[in-house]
Structure 1
């Protein structure tokens, strides 16, 4: 028995030697070549029963070797061994005639042995088949008797028709175009006894190869327009089959876009779709004798006609699968939860990932289960689904997840029929984020309304402060002038005038608090003892709170803190007001305790975040209703309140918390429901510096300079003029800005100082200062005002404004300001 020869071509020496050694051991005779050119030379000289070739080689690569081997010896099997692992390489190799494709490195050489043996066996069978076919054709040709020919012919017709019926049944089971095209071409070839052929399907840009009986021969794509005069062009244009009994005699035919066939006979059939448009072409080729005949053409037309309906079904099936896949992709990616429930059994037939995520359970825990178990306990009114009509129900509902959380959803319910089952399609849109945004918007709107109220309050406070301070200026001024004129301190009027003066001072402080609260006055922090503020608040509360509420205070601390008196007063008032509201209607005790604590020793046990050191601690406690643990962490949030709109805005505790934090302190709360609440405020102690004894009368600075005094209220001009004249100054009092400007213009060098009110009709204090500077630059000016908001101090300094006095003005304030302005 002759030894089988295998030619191995590879540019890697180790691979070449290992393959040769293994195949030698398998009993084959091997020839080796280090590159494609050398391999082709060996093949040309010695030939081979099988060629094993690497795909990627320098100079002449594996594709070229496949092409030339196929051209020289189409029956010689070729196997590609490649290390790239790229699918395009495999496809290209198979199109160029490779019989098999193996990946390097070959881990199991038995795979190689199997591929070699299979390829050799296939070559043997093809060779025997061709020989058998030749013998059969000779036998048929030898049958000369007309009767025998007629019988054979009739038998062949019957068999072909029977085969066409079987073929159409088989085509009906195809699910895609590739499967349909392969089966149809093979059935055509079987019925026509064709040795080769190809099937092309029409696309928008050209004809696409679906299947070929001789791979590598037909082009994979033929672009439109097809070459004029080609067979494919004729078939597509005429929609009729073309029979060519002897290709070599038809020299007038043009190529259809690929090399085509040069001899033998050919049959090309059109494949119309259900609408009559050309869906593709089938090309068959035979080199055997007899060539294709008219009978083959007629049988092929029958088969092509039957395949039309099968092609329509395949395309419809493909379209249905694509639609199903597209629909499922949409359902799997949308954020809307979808459930499909059988109306009769309440079985959940489908749930998309969004629905599973929404209820907090895997899909397999939902689908296939009864909705009463898996879903209806979490969806309101599920049982009412049977009551819905054929339309769509849309409403907001609450979806309860598997772990018990409630999710606001927009739920829609509609009826549909799926696979013959009446179903309910439920969709859920999560409204959590929308609800959160709506809540935030409502909160911002409440804050905006509150801010607008505060802004209106501030504007009102400024106007009140201006008018009230003018009134207080008269009260305090005349009180001081009366005390000055009444030398006898034992006189009964002296005590009364002194009481008027101190009452005016308290009114002055009250205006300052109003302005500070409305942010219309700058806060001034200075060493402050809190005890007097607590006494003032408790005194006021004692006369204003109901008799059933007892107010007690215990002042143990005398050390100072660095604070703004108005803000500390506000903190005390807010905490006491909160305590009063907690006891309103039931009575109780409000306790205020002020003491000193050293956080170096007790800080670790306190629920406050403070640095170690000495602090003044103020505790405000009540015996009211207490605060629920569920909300106690939120009581310092702005606008959070449990009171009615008439009793609270939600700002009291938030403002107190902000003030205390701003003073580098802390505030804590403890409460028991039904027993009361305790707030503790910690403020750091400030080291006190020596201050002058204000109880010792201080000599007021005096002078003899000439002063121009201006105000729009005559009573204030008279009071301040008497104050200044009592200090030794020469005063010219004028009512109104225009009159003052005219007086100054008459003798500008006469005056050493100008004192003017800020807010005056006709000509304001700032406008007057500008006009005076135009007459005589550098004239010192003192500006008096009930509140200084909107006043530009830098601009005022450029106009010569040396001092700004806040009304109401006392003799002491006026004396110091005048002297400082003149001495500046």
Structure 2
């Protein structure tokens, strides 16, 4: 197993003459083509030119001396010894006169030298060297020379390969180049098998093979460690196997079953060092691969690499373009690309569909201003005054609605690009507009229904209040026996039932009316300076009898020193009534209810009502805060109520710009906290 030598019989030999070795080394570092063999030593004396003409194909002169006479003399002598010698001159102090002198003595190329353009100079030198390969003399000419027979044989192969290289440059597709390269090399070297792979992301994809059925279509990366392909892939250096005993145990199938098992694997590497692909040859007829065979591959690969690289980039760009084109054509919106003169450059197929136009009306070069004018002429309109086009005004992004004569609604959105061009997006928003209209109508209907419900509740509440007040009033008089005894003890019991039921129903109606007003935004607060401590103490006294009857301890905390707050007295009274009523109702006998008053330094007052009752979970709290929300269902209810108390408390707190929070735990009780601003 051998690696590629630095100097081969098939390479172009380059010698460098310069009085500045460091400068020459910098330039030579850019010469990476393997078909060029650079002399190991950089000659600093121009007197060595005659001797270099014998061993070199190309001589590069980097001239710095103002006196060029010795250099000219050396060039003339070298050209006499070898007329085909190609001499390149890079001059640090170029003049017209110096250029004429150099060209007169047979210099092939004369260029001004710049150290910061070493890469460009290297490309020029490299091309001149590779051109030598196309000037290889025919074998008939070589027979009269003193070349050894093996060199004559090699030149015949080189001639064949170089001719093939010329044909490679005419290939227009990547597949054609890969096929031609592999088949030409295989034919020139007598190989019966071989495969060429190109890297495609995390795989090597087979581009061509000389023996279908042997080489797999895809090789997964990373390749098996120690395989021939892995060695070449990692080192980026060609390998040649002359005997089967040298084959590693695992070598990426593709050449098994051939006599001799001689294998040649060659990498295709970019100038940057990135590997493009690799190819292998095997099954050579009646022989094994030699170093000269490898050198021939080197020549053809050097010429085909640029073509492969260019076509590979072209193919990838074409794939990307096709992908973008497919996306462009299949977008749900219409897209128009406009140049800086507002003319159509390109548009997708949806533009014609959305605007109800023919493709001819959207032809490239059509003015978008004229196009919109024609739309207005057919009866279309726009939300912009007088059909004004946004591109007639100041430059910038824009968006507006366009109304077609058939009722369709279209949104035009323009994006200004840095070069002055525009990307115009056209969207059919007819369905969206219809949906918005239906939504608005549904909203209006819902609001009207809600208002009707609120008015009904308010009216019916007023209608019920009058007879209820009469029932309660007369029952109260009968209960007090204002005009004498009723005559039977049962009458006293019935009158008490009538009075309690009427009072309960009146309380329900009042809550319902207040909640309806609050939800409709018609509840008017009448704020006054309110002594909260006195108000709460009065309410606690009112509920004292009820709590004693329920067997629940009622505790008031607060020293009475709280200041006044600005609030609606009836609303605050209603809040406290509902909270205490609920707390007593949902606390079992033997429990307790505590109401505590606090006031912050900014005047904000807090009323906290805590009980040791049944408690609620998070879901139950959400239910209790909804109007008519009942934590228990209608079949297993143990506690009477309408579910209006807590929603009304929440609404009255919001009217005061306050806060209402509930914390509760099933089996441990509930705490309701009302916070009201001080003023």
Do these two structures clear the TM 0.5 threshold for a shared fold by scoring above it? Answer: no
Question: Which TM-score band (shorter chain)?
Answer: 0.3 to 0.5
- Greater relative contact order (Cα < 8 A, sep 6+): 2
Answer with 1 or 2: which has the greater Rg. 1
| TM-score normalized with structure 1 length | 0.37
